[in-house]
């Protein structure tokens, strides 16, 4: 394993260490931002030991990991479908930038093909992210509609049961009937 691979693994682990938490306080969020900045600074400094395109690749990896880490931090701080989508897009952009830099080591048609493949992979990743977002939004809408339907059904059943209880009270007269109606109202939440 070369030095760049080891550095990429170390950076990746540092940026993903906070991925276990689902939501966080403002202080944790600020601390996460500070950690990302410090990790990026160290990764960018480590790229100084490389030369030519290897340095460019290292820098693209550090930039990409920083972008993904920032998007992931935002998604954990304010979880939403859009925030999760932004993480996926940041990952696609980071992968594309690194792939483009790696293509610079090639020449001629091989480089052209490499660039086209990098672009195609980026487009595919973003299309998948968009499909995921639309599916997640559709799932949420369906869940909301299902919950509303269940709430309506529960209300309809309660109203029907209340009507039956009121009807049963008609068999009584005076205080007994009044108590029966009061009990029915209390039981079914009617005023």
pLDDT, residue 16, reads 43
CB atoms near residue 171 (< 10 Å): 9
pLDDT digits (tens, 9 = 90+) for 91-139: 999 999 999 999 999 999 999 999 999 999 999 999 999 999 999 888 8
pLDDT score for 22: 54
C-alpha 123/C-alpha 152 separation (Å) is: 43
d(CA 146, CA 181): 33
pLDDT for residue 13? 41
Tell me the per-residue pLDDT of 136-186, one tens digit each, with 9 for 90 and over.
888 888 888 888 899 999 999 999 999 999 999 999 999 999 999 999 999
Q: What is the pTM of this model?
A: 0.64
Domain residue extents for the chain: 3-105, 154-187
Sign of CA dihedral 154, 156, 157, 158: positive
**Residue 54 burial (CB < 10 Å; 0-12/13-18/19+)?**
middle
């Amino acid at each position: 394993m070369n030095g760049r691979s080891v550095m990429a693994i170390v950076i990746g682990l540092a940026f993903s260490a906070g991925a276990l938490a689902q939501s966080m306080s403002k202080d944790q969020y600020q601390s996460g931002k500070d950690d990302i900045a410090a990790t990026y600074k160290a990764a960018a400094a480590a790229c100084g030991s490389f030369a030519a395109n290897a340095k460019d690749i290292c820098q693209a990896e550090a930039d990409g990991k920083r972008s993904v880490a920032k998007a992931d931090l935002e998604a954990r701080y304010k979880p939403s479908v859009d925030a999760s989508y932004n993480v996926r897009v940041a990952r696609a952009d980071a992968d594309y930038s690194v792939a483009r830099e790696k293509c610079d080591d090639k020449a001629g048609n091989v480089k052209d093909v490499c660039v086209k493949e990098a672009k195609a992979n980026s487009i595919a990743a973003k299309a998948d992210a968009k499909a995921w977002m639309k599916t997640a939004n559709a799932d949420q809408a369906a869940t909301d509609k299902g919950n509303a339907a269940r709430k309506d059904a529960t209300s309809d059943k309660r109203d029907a049961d209340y009507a039956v209880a009121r009807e049963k009270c008609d068999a009584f007269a005076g205080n007994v009937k009044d108590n029966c109606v009061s009990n029915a109202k209390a039981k079914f939440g009617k005023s």
